[in-house]
Amino acid sequence: MPQVVRSPKVYDVCIVGSGAAGGTAAKVLAEGGLSVVMLEAGPALNPEKDFKEHVWPYQVPHRGAGIGGKLKHEVGDEFMAPNGAWEIDGEPYTSAPGSRFRWFRSRIVGGRTNHWGRIALRFAPVDFRSRSTDGMGDDWPITYEEIAPYYDKVESYIGVFGTKENISSAPDGVFLPPPAPRCTETIVKKACDKLNIVCIPSRMAMLTKPLNGRAACHYCGQCGRGCLTASNFSSSQVMIPPAQATGRFTLITGAMAREIVVGKDGKAEAVAYIDKATRSEQRVHARAFMVAASACESARLLLNSRSTLFPDGLANSSGVVGRYLTDSVGSDASGYFPQLEKMPPHNHDGTGGMHLYMPWWKFDRKNDFLRGYHIEFGGGRSMPGVGEFDGICERYEGYGASLKQRCRTMYGTHIGFAGRGEMIPNEKSYCDLDPDTVDQWGIPVLRFHWHWSDNEIKMAKDMQETFRSIVETAGGTFLSKAKPDGSRPYGIADGGVIIHELGTARMGSNPKTSVLNKYCQAHDVKNVFVTDAAAFVTNPDKNPTLTIMALSWRASEYLLDQAKQGSL
């Protein structure tokens, strides 16, 4: 038997995970006066060492492609901040037969906030009332009005640029001034204006002005590499430091949570975790627990926390843990814009993301599908990297002076478009424990079940048609690999690929059909909260991170109130 070391210390709160949800909880709870311990499965982040901001590709032997070129077509090249991967050695996950699902996981302090897109969109009032609106899915147990003050708090603290637009599908927030549009964006906006597609300054978590001790953006366009001046938002640089400054915060890295241990009274009393360095089992005790390990990882922890009191997993008397799994509907295309060939050389970098975007604009009419999507786009003369000219090589072939010149002429003349839409939860999309597989720490792994319904396929079709009309209206050539049939109709991405997977421990007023109450508190176990995107009831056409932080902030304040009343 491995020796189980019992820590005598009992913290007020134990947080599992250090990303958007965990970081927010750590800041609010520690600043609120509670003693907080945080478990992170990965190592600490060291920006000075880990960030490769401003490095040129020729300054590293693999030019960014990674060992053997393995990062060439991946989400992140070797310049990216330590963030995560589709596959983690020794920590598999599985897909049920017929299901295709990919799970991007992070093992580092700050989690996926170290290189998220930083698109910070509020959900709209209607997004919390989808069943009341169109009869599908379920309403949230909270309204927009209840969460709005927390959006305000998060935006005021982390810094989000944007503009007041008064669009009902895309509520305004507390905004810093937006950066000027790039050439690519100017061209697309002009086409959108002709087509009556709303195209407005994006809402992104980068500082266009100094805020709360952080310097303003210096417009190198490299947010994904990690920012040495912390001018963009990451949990590791913006949420964890203020928690640490209180002196009431303890961070345990390399700690893979295995189980939430429950006492005889039915309340959680400890988290059993694997200390990866020694491969030994440890325990950390607390009075309350904030599970914030990312939606699916949090569901996995609950499902693995089986006991005589909770034979189907902790907080799972409803059987809903792992259910209602959704991802964003994603479909992409691009265009070639000849007018960009004529642009004089100029600095195109900007912030590390789009300066304009298209919020859902067809909410005022009947469409072929329910719900909506927004459009992200980008391209132009950013820093050349590996894979930059794959498309030109493939399309034009050849070699020699003509190839070389063509690459120069066509450099930065492509703009990519990505639709991000709402998936309606369905019975066939969920995760459960794989009965046959454990990871290298001995912890049973998740098995994914996935199905896109017709509504999502129709939405992807509409995305492709819209992309085409924008590109052609702008005088460009439409380029898309999407086909109406096959395994990915209209280019719809596989489940999980957009990395907005959520909904696996949803909140609700009915304990029979939901896991959490409206404060992210488990119906079954009052001292357990799940504050990441597992708590979401729906997955609107807005990236989830801002809402994760708003919900976690709200849950943390609720927990602080409970503590003040002595009911911790």
Partner 1 sequence: MATKSISRRNILKSLTMGAVASSVLRVIPLEAAEYAHHMVAAEKAASPAGSYTPKFFPARQYKTLQTLCQTIIPADADAGGAMEAGAPEFIDLLTSENPKYQLKLGGGLMWLDAECIDRYGKTYLDCTPEQQKEIVDLIAYSKNAEKDPGLSPGVEFFALLRELTADGFFTSQIGIKYLGYVGNTYLLSFNGCPPVPEA
* Residues found near partner 1 in the complex (CB under 8 A): 54, 56-58, 61-65, 67-70, 72, 179-183, 185-187, 217-222, 337-339, 342-351, 355, 381-390, 392-394, 397-401, 403-404, 407-408, 411, 474-476
Q: Which is nearer to partner 1, 220 or 239 (CB)?
A: 220
Residues belonging to the chain: 568
In this structure, the number of other CB atoms found within 10 A of the CB of residue 168 comes to: 12
Residue 566 one-letter amino acid: G
Residue with tokens 């607390």: 286
The rounded distance, in Å, linking the Cα atoms of 259 and 433 is 14
- Which distant-in-sequence residues (6+ apart) come within 8 Å of 63 by Cβ? 57, 385, 386
| Residue closest to 159 by CA, chosen among 245, 231, 244 | 231
Shortest Å distance, C-beta 192 to partner 1: 15
The rounded distance, in Å, linking the Cα atoms of 270 and 260 is 6
Q: Which is nearer to partner 1, 1 or 399 (CB)?
A: 399
Q: Which is nearer to partner 1, 205 or 457 (CB)?
A: 205
Three-state SS letters, 501-564: CECCCCECCCCCCCCECCCCEECCCCCEEECCHHHCCCECCCCCHHHHHHHHHHHHHHHHHHHH
Shortest Å distance, C-beta 181 to partner 1: 5
Beta-bridge partners for 15: 38, 290
Residue with tokens 């007023």: 509
Three-state SS letters, 326-390: ECCEEEEEEEECHHHHHCCCCCCCECCCCCEEECCCCCCCCCCCCCCEEEEEEECCCCCCCCCCH
Shortest Å distance, C-beta 407 to partner 1: 6
Q: Which is nearer to partner 1, 351 or 539 (CB)?
A: 351
Shortest Å distance, C-beta 386 to partner 1: 4
Shortest Å distance, C-beta 120 to partner 1: 19
- Which distant-in-sequence residues (6+ apart) come within 8 Å of 420 by Cβ? 328, 329, 330, 373, 374, 375, 376, 498, 500, 541, 543
Decide if 141 contacts 518 (C-beta within 8 A): yes
Tokens coding 340: 């960009």
CA dihedral 231, 237, 240, 245 (to 10 degrees): -80
CA quadruple 163, 166, 167, 170: dihedral sign: positive
Q: Which is nearer to partner 1, 73 or 483 (CB)?
A: 73
Q: Which is nearer to partner 1, 402 or 510 (CB)?
A: 402
Q: Which is nearer to partner 1, 286 or 386 (CB)?
A: 386
Shortest Å distance, C-beta 40 to partner 1: 30
- b vs e for 108-134, b when ≥16 Cβ sit within 10 Å of the residue's Cβ? bbbbbbbbbbbbbbbbbbbbbbbeeee
Q: Which is nearer to partner 1, 36 or 191 (CB)?
A: 191
Shortest Å distance, C-beta 109 to partner 1: 26
Shortest Å distance, C-beta 115 to partner 1: 18
Shortest Å distance, C-beta 49 to partner 1: 20
Q: Which is nearer to partner 1, 230 or 261 (CB)?
A: 230
Shortest Å distance, C-beta 469 to partner 1: 15
Q: Which is nearer to partner 1, 25 or 187 (CB)?
A: 187
3-state secondary structure of 398: coil
Q: Which is nearer to partner 1, 171 or 335 (CB)?
A: 335
DSSP labels, 171-237:
---S-BPPPPPPHHHHHHHHHHHHHT---EE--BSB-SS-BTTBPPP--BS-GGG--TT--B--III
Q: Which is nearer to partner 1, 152 or 388 (CB)?
A: 388
Shortest Å distance, C-beta 392 to partner 1: 8
Q: Which is nearer to partner 1, 380 or 540 (CB)?
A: 380
Backbone angles phi, psi at 470, to 5 degrees: -65, -50
Q: Which is nearer to partner 1, 475 or 484 (CB)?
A: 475
Q: Which is nearer to partner 1, 65 or 120 (CB)?
A: 65
Decide if 374 contacts 466 (C-beta within 8 A): no
Cα distances (Å, whole numbers) of residue 136 to 132, 421, 455, 564: 8, 15, 11, 40
The rounded distance, in Å, linking the Cα atoms of 556 and 554 is 5
Residue 403 one-letter amino acid: L
The rounded distance, in Å, linking the Cα atoms of 448 and 452 is 13
Decide if 295 contacts 425 (C-beta within 8 A): no
Decide if 514 contacts 522 (C-beta within 8 A): no
